[in-house]
Amino acid sequence: MKAIVNVYLKEGVLDPQGKAVHHALGSIGFDNVSDVRIGKQIILELNSTDKEKAKEELDEMSQTLLANTVIEDYDIEIVE
């Protein structure tokens, strides 16, 4: 089973990397972009067949290691 965890900054947390990309896009002519937020995607291969148990474990992994829950949110997607 494959899982995808997307981690991104919470709303209201400054994103200097996103601002830099937004500025760079504008400077090369992409003026239609109003905001950019940068995150990370973590893809995991799981040795599990129980989708609910896997989701619980992924939530625990995310809270413990994959995301800094003080400033980041995350979402989990199970891909079979």
State the pLDDT at residue 70. 98
CA distance 40 to 23: 20
Sheet with 72-79, side-by-side order of all strands: 39-45, 2-9, 72-79
State the pLDDT at residue 15. 97
DSSP state of 41: E
pTM score > 0.85 for this model?
A: yes
- Work out the average pLDDT over 16-44: 97
Q: Is the pLDDT of residue 36 over 90?
A: yes
- Work out the average pLDDT over 3-24: 97
CATH code for the part of the protein at 2-79: 3.30.1280.10
CA gyration radius for the chain?
16
DSSP E strands in the chain: the ranges are 2-9, 39-45, 72-79
State the pLDDT at residue 64. 98
Q: Is the pLDDT of residue 23 over 90?
A: yes
State the pLDDT at residue 80. 78
Residue 25: CB partners within 8 Å, gap ≥ 6? 33, 36
Tokens coding 44: 């995991």
- Work out the average pLDDT over 49-68: 97
